[in-house]
Amino acid sequence: MGLEVGNSIYFDAVPSEFAYWNTDDAGREMVRRLIRSGHIDCLHSYGDLAIDRSHAGRALDELERHDCRVQVWIDHRVAPTNFGADIMQGHGDERGHEAYHADLTIGFGVRYVWRGRVTSVIGQDAPARVGGLLTRRAPLKSASTLAKELVKHALGRCGNSKYQMHAPNDVLRPTQLRDGHEIHEFLRANPHWGGVSSCDTGRQIGNVLTDDFLRRLVDREGACVLYTHLGKGHEPRTPFDQSAAAAFSRLADAQREGRVLVTTTRRLLGYCRAVRQLSWSVRHDEPENAIEIAIELPRGCGLCESDLDGMTFSVPAACEVRITIDGRAAAGVIRNPPDPKGRMSVSLPWRRLELPDV
């Protein structure tokens, strides 16, 4: 389909599940190559069988030894090493607990953390709208999902810590773990009318990636970290049915038409952070009718130059544009056609991830 895909990894899991320590040397080398290429970009806790600090230390030592970096953490079920205290019942950031590892994991370079928070709203980093949740096919169930989402937003506006992310509908926010380590927590979304845990597998994704979902996401100009489990299915040999294949085809068409961009969790979060935190200045050279946009990367925050991929600036129609990043000329600046409002812009190129030979 030509869609960028990312994945997560366990280290200590039951023998029936694929995990780093469960596979053989060839499997582990494949994992490491995919981490380096950016296709495995999430630690999905350290796994259900990781019960104390030593398991975290062993995993991080292995990644360090092979020069593998992962910056995204996702809580898993109720694994002891989870960070979420309420929804995910974790102890990973609880000093004194045997599963405490936050100092090791954050010190290793994890910057983005998911602690179990999922919304039904289509499109984050945009005003929250609940349109699209009600359906005539299941009026009672969809009304229940809508009511739950409205309650979450109301509680969030009242300061409820569990639902505080729902009120502003931001895809990520700076916050702290219980031990004081600073992180960026992110919000995932499953806009299915049946609720945030409905149709969250590969064979059911056709019920989520609908034409209506894509239309609303584009109209709202939002971001979405979709809550799903593509690897889960009833038949491993055919994980996707015709409905799922059609959904991926719709998504691929939307990307080819320039309406959406499909990428990995780490790349999306890095881009969204860069939009918030970048500093830049503009200098207009009158004699040459040229504009220079000077971008400065903030130091010590975990952002890197690749987080600027796709960064776009509105510019006058008839002028030359130069972009510099920390004083160096940016290569491959793209001049875009007018947007639906007639605005002209330039972008830094979006460099696609390349799958390694595994």
H/E element, 186: strand 182-186
User: Where are the domains positioned within the chain?
Assistant: 7-266, 278-347
Q: Look at residue 357 in the predicted model and tell me its pLDDT.
A: 84
286 — pLDDT class (breaks 50, 70, 90): confident
Cα 263 from Cα 266, distance rounded (Å)? 8
β 172-176/182-186 pair status: antiparallel
Cα 284 from Cα 293, distance rounded (Å)? 9
pLDDT of 302 over the 90 cut: no
Average pLDDT score, the chain: 94
Residues 340-355: pLDDT tens digits?
889 999 999 999 999 9
**String of DSSP letters for 1-23:** ------EEE-SS--TTS--TTTS
The closest of 341, 344, 284, 280 to 308, measured between CA atoms, is 280
Residue 343, SS3 per DSSP: coil
Residues 217-273: pLDDT tens digits?
999 999 999 999 998 877 778 889 999 999 999 999 999 999 999 999 999 999 999
Of the listed ranges 70-79, 182-191, 266-275, 312-321, the one predicted with least confidence: 312-321
pLDDT of 301 over the 90 cut: no
Residue 275, SS3 per DSSP: helix
Q: Give the global pTM.
A: 0.95
pLDDT of 147 over the 90 cut: yes
